[in-house]
Amino acid sequence: MMDNNVKVTNEKTEACVKEDMINHPYHHTVGGIEFIDYFKAKFGTNAVIDFSLGNTVKYLSRCLHKGKMLEDLKKAQWYLNYAINQLEPKEDGDAIQGEPFNQ
């Protein structure tokens, strides 16, 4: 478990962490690719939509308990917007049809 009060000493890492914790957190881009892009390439659009909706629920569920409500709400919004974007019609006019969750 990481202590949130620990100061990062690597200047490049620290700048990235402070730069954008909502849209492009540093820890999501280690290895040169954003994790969500890797996930989509590996598992497909429907899986990344499900992943995004799950993260939306996760951030909404814990926003009242971590002391970072605004940040968690923005992260939930980011994941929800990402899922919506995957369903929007693309330039060729085709929209991806998400599959319902398995029960």
pLDDT tens digits, 13-39? 444 445 688 988 888 888 889 999 999
Tell me: the pLDDT tens digits for 66-87? 999 999 999 999 999 999 999 9
Name the amino acid, one letter, at 56.
T
Q: Give the chain's mean pLDDT.
A: 81
Question: Is 4 exposed, middle or buried (CB count within 10 Å of its CB: 0-12, 13-18, 19+)?
Answer: exposed
Convert 25-79 into a string of H (helix), E (strand) and C (coil): CHHHCCCCCCHHHHHHHHHCHHHHHHHHHHHHHHHHHHCCCCCCHHHHHHHHHHH
1-5, 25-29, 98-102, range with greatest mean pLDDT: 25-29
| pLDDT exceeds 50 at position 50 | yes
